[in-house]
Amino acid sequence: MKVLVPVKRVIDYNVKVRVKADGSGVDLANVKMSMNPFDEIAVEEAIRLKEAGKASEVIVVSIGVKQAQETLRTGLAMGADRAILVTAAEDVHEDIEPLAVAKILAAIVKEEEPGLVICGKQAIDNDLGATGQMLAALTGLAQATNANTLEVADDSATVAREVDGGLQTIKVSLPAIVTTDLRLNEPRYASLPNIMKAKKKPLDEKTPADYGVDVSPRLEVVKTAEPAARAAGIMVGSVDELVAKLKDAGAI
């Protein structure tokens, strides 16, 4: 069984986000970019399935600017077998919407016929949290989002999902689309020898036209602004003072 893992190149989660002065978006020029953290969890889960003998091949795919090649190399260094880069944008500020991403992925699913697709539950840039569900819709496959645990059997997978109030366990027919939540696993760091080896692993380069997909956006960005700042508060010296202030404020 092949496992397909879509990965996105996003601003590194430790980098402070700055809104561009002209309000057109967030400044991504010369900032550190990394693999979306939820996608790292997805790559790790796929590699573990391969190590457990349940997956035969792990394919990472990225859709975006050509520099996403670095993100794919990270996935290959972690242990994926090969990569597909779909160059769909020239400028790093051009975000390809989940609907277009899902259409390209659906075409790749048709071509590669993976038994499982593991996606991150959301990208930390646009925070839409939609690609996995949209891919499941377009391929007509089952979906199991926000996975906390994943067990794969011959023709089904059992997934415990993080939901409001606790966990919901469902069984999905394979092939299926699974999206990862935080507690699924802790991704490994790639070792130096594996980073060297990753440079020689195959990486196919494609374009959206190869899959017949139009990536023009459905949402037009009107403006991007800094969130409203909170006024600074005061420091209190003791619990007694805190209790008094809270009573004054009518908070307790």
| Minimum CB–partner distance for residue 30 and other proteins (Å) | 17
Pick between residue 2 and residue 161 the one whose CB is nearest to other proteins: 161
Distance CA 168, CA 161 (A): 5
Range in contact with other proteins (rule: CB under 8 A) among 17-25, 76-84, 191-199, 201-209: 17-25
Pick between residue 81 and residue 95 the one whose CB is nearest to other proteins: 95
Restricted to residues 62-121, the positions that interact with other proteins (CB under 8 A) are: 97-99, 102
Please, are residues 83 and 26 in contact by the beta-carbon 8 Å criterion? Answer: no
Restricted to residues 157-196, the positions that interact with other proteins (CB under 8 A) are: 158, 160-173, 176, 181-183
Furthest-apart CA pair in the chain: how many Å?
68
Find tokens 């978006």 and name the residue: 25
Pick between residue 193 and residue 216 the one whose CB is nearest to other proteins: 216
Distance CA 25, CA 98 (A): 18
Q: Is 40 in the site for other proteins (CB under 8 A)?
A: no
Q: Is 149 in the site for other proteins (CB under 8 A)?
A: no
Restricted to residues 203-232, the positions that interact with other proteins (CB under 8 A) are: 218-227, 230, 232
| Minimum CB–partner distance for residue 84 and other proteins (Å) | 21
- Cα dist from 48 to 18, 92, 186, whole Å: 36, 31, 11
Q: Is 21 in the site for other proteins (CB under 8 A)?
A: no
Nearest to 120 by CA among 34, 52, 57: 34
Q: 3-class SS at 138?
A: helix
